[in-house]
Amino acid sequence: MLWNLKKVFLTEDEILNAEYDLDLSDLDFNGGAPFKTPVKVEAKAENRAGIVDLAVTVRFDYTAPCDRCGEETITPFVSSFRHTVVQSLVGENEGEYIEAPDFIVDLDLPVTADILLSLPAKHLCREDCRGLCPKCGKNLNEGECGCSLRETDPRWDALKNLFNEE
């Protein structure tokens, strides 16, 4: 969404609000499309003593397979971000600000970047997910599989026989 902030830049204490839906359904992230529904974006631009502050709140459902058991899960997220908006960038601080040439800022770019940076590195269906059995692949959240998880090194089998002889 292109947002014209000219009035905010030119008028101290001016506030401008915007709400829109951001479609990220085509975004490929970690080999999948985790945004099945649009992201709800609420933005507020405010001129505080000549500095334009941008506050953004996003609400979305994140769909991804659990990293332990593989079950697809949907997790609701609400995140908030703040940025300072400037008309032009010069120097070393270019990564700290959002540039709005001609008083216009494209909100989709920083909002998408902020969302991706806020996602967890590990996605679990629940905190106590038991994952899959390493032998048979059964989902252990659904019950035990009966596999013996105790494995022995066959090189030690000769020692077992020492104690079994009578």
Residues 139, 125, single domain; the answer is no
pLDDT confidence of residue 83: 92
Q: Which helix (H) or strand (E) holds 56?
A: strand 51-65
Inter-CA distances, 157 with 15, 151, 164, 165, 166, Å: 76, 12, 11, 13, 17
Q: Are residues 46 and 94 in the same domain?
A: yes
| 48, 17: one domain | yes
Count Cα neighbours of 36 within 13 Å in the Cβ-side half-sphere: 9
CA pair distance 99, 117, nearest whole angstrom? 19
8 lies in the same domain as 30: yes
Q: What is the arithmetic mean of pLDDT over 36-43? A: 95
Give the separation between CA 137 and CA 145, rounded to whole angstroms: 9
As separate numbers, helices (DSSP H) first and strands (DSSP E) second, the chain gives: 3, 7
Together in a domain, 149 and 97: no
In terms of domains, do 145 and 87 share one?
no
Q: What is the mean pLDDT of the chain?
A: 87
| Residue 52 and residue 103 in one domain | yes
Q: Flag whether pLDDT at 49 surpasses 90.
A: no
**What integer pLDDT is reported at residue 147 of this predicted model?**
84
**Start-to-end C-alpha separation, the chain:** 83
62 with 88, same domain: the answer is: yes
Same domain? For 110 and 137 the reply is no
Q: pLDDT tens digit string along 82-126?
A: 999 888 777 656 567 888 888 899 999 999 999 999 988 888 999
Sign of CA dihedral 70, 121, 20, 101: negative
Partners of residue 63 on adjacent β-strands:
74
Give the whole-number percent of the chain exceeding pLDDT 70. 93
* 28/94 same-domain check: yes
Whether 144 and 79 map to the same domain: the answer is no
What average pLDDT score do residues 58-78 get?
A: 93
Would you state the structure tokens that stand for residue 162, as one six-digit string? 């020492």
**Residues 26, 153: Cα–Cα separation, whole Å:** 48
**What's the pLDDT score for residue 166?**
53
- For the chain, percent of residues with pLDDT exceeding 90: 46
The parent domain of residue 147 ranges over: 130-166
Phi and psi angles of residue 67, each rounded to the nearest 5 degrees, phi first: -70, -15
Q: For position 99, what pLDDT does the model report?
A: 85
**pLDDT exceeds cutoff 70 at 149:** no
125 with 141, same domain: the answer is no
The residues facing 37 across adjacent strands are none
Confidence of residue 40 (pLDDT cuts 50, 70, 90): very high
Query: Does residue 44 carry a pLDDT above 70?
Result: yes
Query: Model pTM?
Result: 0.75
**Block residue for tokens 């902020």:** 114
Domain count, the chain: 2
| Chain position carrying tokens 């269906």 | 125
